[in-house]
Amino acid sequence: MNYAFELDARKNWAKDVYAGYKSTKLRGPLRSAIRLHDSLAASLPTQAPIALITARDCDLTRHGAAEPQGQAITVSGRVVDEDGRAVSDSLVEIWQCNAAGRYAHEKDDHDAPLDPNFSGWGKCLTDSDGRYRFKTIKPGAYPWGNHENAWRPAHIHFSLFGNVYAQRLITQMYFPDDPLFPFDPIFNSVPDAAARQRMISQFSMDETIPGTSLGFTFDIVLRGRTATPTGM
Protein backbone atom coordinates (compact mmCIF):
# COMPACT_ATOMS: atom_id res chain seq x y z
CA MET A 1 0.00 0.00 0.00
CA ASN A 2 1.03 3.63 -0.50
CA TYR A 3 0.21 4.59 3.06
CA ALA A 4 3.78 4.36 4.40
CA PHE A 5 5.05 6.59 1.62
CA GLU A 6 2.27 9.12 2.18
CA LEU A 7 3.25 9.37 5.83
CA ASP A 8 6.93 9.77 5.02
CA ALA A 9 6.42 12.27 2.20
CA ARG A 10 4.21 14.62 4.21
CA LYS A 11 5.92 14.42 7.60
CA ASN A 12 5.27 17.60 9.63
CA TRP A 13 3.01 19.08 6.95
CA ALA A 14 -0.24 18.84 8.84
CA LYS A 15 -1.66 22.25 9.70
CA ASP A 16 -3.81 20.86 12.49
CA VAL A 17 -5.43 17.68 13.66
CA TYR A 18 -8.20 16.46 11.35
CA ALA A 19 -10.13 13.44 12.61
CA GLY A 20 -10.81 11.99 9.17
CA TYR A 21 -7.11 11.94 8.26
CA LYS A 22 -5.67 9.57 10.87
CA SER A 23 -1.99 10.44 10.80
CA THR A 24 -2.59 14.10 11.71
CA LYS A 25 -3.15 12.82 15.23
CA LEU A 26 0.51 11.82 15.30
CA ARG A 27 2.05 14.95 13.84
CA GLY A 28 -0.48 17.78 13.83
CA PRO A 29 0.88 20.65 15.96
CA LEU A 30 -0.73 20.90 19.38
CA ARG A 31 0.58 24.40 20.17
CA SER A 32 0.17 27.74 18.44
CA ALA A 33 2.72 28.73 15.80
CA ILE A 34 5.53 31.09 16.79
CA ARG A 35 5.74 34.19 14.60
CA LEU A 36 9.24 34.92 13.28
CA HIS A 37 10.47 38.48 13.52
CA ASP A 38 10.31 39.98 10.01
CA SER A 39 14.04 40.76 9.93
CA LEU A 40 14.88 37.18 10.89
CA ALA A 41 12.52 35.71 8.29
CA ALA A 42 13.98 37.93 5.57
CA SER A 43 17.52 36.82 6.42
CA LEU A 44 16.87 33.12 5.92
CA PRO A 45 17.87 31.61 2.54
CA THR A 46 14.95 30.82 0.23
CA GLN A 47 16.31 30.25 -3.27
CA ALA A 48 18.34 27.52 -4.89
CA PRO A 49 21.45 28.42 -6.91
CA ILE A 50 20.37 28.80 -10.53
CA ALA A 51 23.31 26.65 -11.67
CA LEU A 52 21.71 23.63 -9.96
CA ILE A 53 18.60 23.81 -12.16
CA THR A 54 18.64 22.81 -15.82
CA ALA A 55 16.06 22.88 -18.62
CA ARG A 56 15.63 19.09 -18.32
CA ASP A 57 14.48 19.40 -14.71
CA CYS A 58 11.05 20.77 -15.70
CA ASP A 59 10.34 17.91 -18.14
CA LEU A 60 9.60 14.74 -16.19
CA THR A 61 9.22 12.74 -19.41
CA ARG A 62 12.88 13.05 -20.48
CA HIS A 63 14.72 11.06 -17.82
CA GLY A 64 14.52 7.52 -19.15
CA ALA A 65 15.49 5.49 -22.19
CA ALA A 66 11.96 5.93 -23.60
CA GLU A 67 8.78 7.91 -23.05
CA PRO A 68 7.01 7.07 -19.77
CA GLN A 69 3.63 5.38 -19.85
CA GLY A 70 0.46 7.41 -19.51
CA GLN A 71 -1.21 10.62 -20.63
CA ALA A 72 1.37 13.39 -21.15
CA ILE A 73 0.31 16.73 -19.68
CA THR A 74 1.72 20.21 -19.20
CA VAL A 75 1.10 22.02 -15.91
CA SER A 76 1.72 25.75 -15.84
CA GLY A 77 0.73 28.83 -13.89
CA ARG A 78 1.85 31.89 -11.98
CA VAL A 79 3.17 32.23 -8.44
CA VAL A 80 2.13 35.48 -6.75
CA ASP A 81 2.28 36.91 -3.24
CA GLU A 82 -0.64 37.99 -1.09
CA ASP A 83 -0.81 41.34 -2.93
CA GLY A 84 -0.90 39.74 -6.38
CA ARG A 85 2.70 40.60 -7.23
CA ALA A 86 4.71 38.10 -9.25
CA VAL A 87 7.19 36.00 -7.27
CA SER A 88 10.18 35.63 -9.59
CA ASP A 89 13.09 33.19 -9.24
CA SER A 90 11.06 31.08 -6.84
CA LEU A 91 12.08 27.44 -6.59
CA VAL A 92 9.13 25.23 -7.54
CA GLU A 93 9.48 21.47 -6.97
CA ILE A 94 6.92 18.80 -7.79
CA TRP A 95 6.68 15.09 -7.10
CA GLN A 96 4.03 12.53 -7.96
CA CYS A 97 3.19 8.90 -8.61
CA ASN A 98 3.21 7.42 -12.10
CA ALA A 99 0.20 6.74 -14.32
CA ALA A 100 -0.45 3.44 -12.52
CA GLY A 101 -0.58 5.11 -9.09
CA ARG A 102 2.85 4.17 -7.74
CA TYR A 103 5.69 6.36 -6.50
CA ALA A 104 9.30 5.61 -7.37
CA HIS A 105 10.13 5.36 -3.69
CA GLU A 106 11.34 2.45 -1.60
CA LYS A 107 8.51 2.83 0.92
CA ASP A 108 5.78 2.53 -1.69
CA ASP A 109 4.94 -1.16 -1.87
CA HIS A 110 1.65 -0.79 -3.75
CA ASP A 111 1.49 -3.65 -6.28
CA ALA A 112 0.95 -1.33 -9.27
CA PRO A 113 3.85 -1.44 -11.75
CA LEU A 114 6.81 0.91 -11.57
CA ASP A 115 7.75 2.83 -14.71
CA PRO A 116 11.53 2.68 -15.35
CA ASN A 117 11.24 5.83 -17.46
CA PHE A 118 9.53 7.97 -14.83
CA SER A 119 11.06 9.19 -11.57
CA GLY A 120 8.16 11.49 -10.71
CA TRP A 121 10.22 14.49 -9.57
CA GLY A 122 10.99 17.86 -11.17
CA LYS A 123 11.96 21.44 -10.40
CA CYS A 124 12.19 24.87 -12.01
CA LEU A 125 12.48 28.57 -11.21
CA THR A 126 9.68 31.03 -11.91
CA ASP A 127 10.41 33.70 -14.52
CA SER A 128 10.16 37.47 -14.07
CA ASP A 129 6.36 37.27 -14.32
CA GLY A 130 6.17 34.49 -11.73
CA ARG A 131 5.42 31.81 -14.32
CA TYR A 132 6.42 28.14 -14.16
CA ARG A 133 5.83 25.22 -16.52
CA PHE A 134 6.26 21.45 -16.25
CA LYS A 135 5.72 18.59 -18.67
CA THR A 136 4.82 15.35 -16.95
CA ILE A 137 2.39 12.40 -16.90
CA LYS A 138 -1.07 12.54 -15.37
CA PRO A 139 -0.79 10.56 -12.11
CA GLY A 140 -3.14 7.73 -11.28
CA ALA A 141 -5.34 7.26 -8.24
CA TYR A 142 -4.11 4.77 -5.66
CA PRO A 143 -5.26 3.00 -2.49
CA TRP A 144 -3.92 4.00 0.92
CA GLY A 145 -4.48 2.71 4.42
CA ASN A 146 -6.29 5.57 6.10
CA HIS A 147 -9.64 3.75 6.20
CA GLU A 148 -11.46 0.90 4.47
CA ASN A 149 -11.42 1.19 0.67
CA ALA A 150 -9.52 4.50 0.83
CA TRP A 151 -8.28 5.97 -2.48
CA ARG A 152 -6.35 9.16 -3.14
CA PRO A 153 -7.56 11.32 -6.03
CA ALA A 154 -4.99 12.01 -8.76
CA HIS A 155 -2.71 14.77 -7.49
CA ILE A 156 0.71 16.39 -7.83
CA HIS A 157 2.66 17.63 -4.80
CA PHE A 158 4.09 21.17 -4.96
CA SER A 159 6.80 22.75 -2.82
CA LEU A 160 7.49 26.47 -3.26
CA PHE A 161 9.66 29.16 -1.73
CA GLY A 162 8.61 32.80 -1.90
CA ASN A 163 10.68 35.91 -1.34
CA VAL A 164 11.04 35.20 2.38
CA TYR A 165 11.11 32.01 4.44
CA ALA A 166 7.61 32.67 5.82
CA GLN A 167 6.22 32.30 2.28
CA ARG A 168 7.18 28.60 2.09
CA LEU A 169 4.26 26.56 0.81
CA ILE A 170 3.71 22.84 0.36
CA THR A 171 0.43 21.90 -1.29
CA GLN A 172 -1.24 19.44 -3.63
CA MET A 173 -2.72 20.12 -7.05
CA TYR A 174 -5.79 18.11 -8.04
CA PHE A 175 -7.53 17.62 -11.39
CA PRO A 176 -11.02 18.83 -12.34
CA ASP A 177 -14.13 16.72 -11.66
CA ASP A 178 -12.39 13.91 -9.83
CA PRO A 179 -15.05 11.51 -8.47
CA LEU A 180 -12.89 10.77 -5.41
CA PHE A 181 -13.08 14.32 -3.96
CA PRO A 182 -16.02 13.58 -1.62
CA PHE A 183 -14.21 10.56 -0.16
CA ASP A 184 -10.71 11.97 0.38
CA PRO A 185 -10.04 13.22 3.93
CA ILE A 186 -6.86 15.04 2.90
CA PHE A 187 -8.68 17.17 0.32
CA ASN A 188 -11.58 17.71 2.73
CA SER A 189 -9.34 18.63 5.66
CA VAL A 190 -9.38 22.13 4.13
CA PRO A 191 -12.62 23.33 5.77
CA ASP A 192 -13.60 26.10 3.36
CA ALA A 193 -15.15 24.95 0.09
CA ALA A 194 -13.85 27.97 -1.84
CA ALA A 195 -10.33 27.30 -0.56
CA ARG A 196 -10.55 23.67 -1.71
CA GLN A 197 -11.35 24.91 -5.20
CA ARG A 198 -8.02 26.78 -5.21
CA MET A 199 -6.29 23.39 -5.02
CA ILE A 200 -7.93 22.17 -8.26
CA SER A 201 -6.25 22.87 -11.59
CA GLN A 202 -8.16 23.97 -14.68
CA PHE A 203 -8.07 22.28 -18.07
CA SER A 204 -6.67 24.65 -20.72
CA MET A 205 -6.89 24.06 -24.44
CA ASP A 206 -4.49 26.99 -24.89
CA GLU A 207 -1.82 25.12 -22.91
CA THR A 208 -2.46 21.84 -24.74
CA ILE A 209 0.29 20.91 -27.20
CA PRO A 210 -1.29 19.42 -30.36
CA GLY A 211 -0.57 15.71 -30.66
CA THR A 212 1.62 15.75 -27.55
CA SER A 213 0.04 16.67 -24.24
CA LEU A 214 -3.08 18.06 -22.58
CA GLY A 215 -2.73 21.33 -20.68
CA PHE A 216 -3.70 22.30 -17.13
CA THR A 217 -3.20 25.62 -15.35
CA PHE A 218 -2.63 26.04 -11.63
CA ASP A 219 -1.96 29.50 -10.19
CA ILE A 220 -0.51 29.63 -6.68
CA VAL A 221 -0.92 32.41 -4.11
CA LEU A 222 1.57 32.56 -1.25
CA ARG A 223 -0.09 33.74 1.99
CA GLY A 224 -3.02 36.09 2.48
CA ARG A 225 -6.79 35.60 2.45
CA THR A 226 -6.79 34.02 -1.01
CA ALA A 227 -3.71 31.86 -0.43
CA THR A 228 -3.50 28.38 -1.91
CA PRO A 229 -4.18 26.04 1.04
CA THR A 230 -1.40 23.99 2.53
CA GLY A 231 -1.64 20.38 1.34
CA MET A 232 -1.25 17.86 4.13
Stretch (H or E) spanning 41:
helix 38-43
5-62 per-position pLDDT tens digit: 444 444 434 456 777 776 676 666 677 767 666 555 555 555 555 567 888 899 999 9
Residue 123 has pLDDT above 70, yes or no: yes
**73 in Cβ contact with 216 (< 8 Å):** yes
- Three-state SS at 80: strand
What's the distance, CA 91 to chain centroid?
A: 13
Active site residues: 103, 142, 152, 155, 157
125-177 per-position pLDDT tens digit: 999 999 999 999 999 999 998 889 999 999 999 999 877 666 789 999 999 99
Q: What proportion of the chain, given as a percentage, has pLDDT over 90?
A: 65
Residue 2 pLDDT: 47
Domains of the chain: 3-222 (2.60.130.10)
The reported pTM is 0.82
Question: Which residues have a Cβ under 8 Å from the Cβ of 152 and sit 6 or more positions away?
Answer: 2, 6, 141, 142, 143, 144, 180, 184, 186
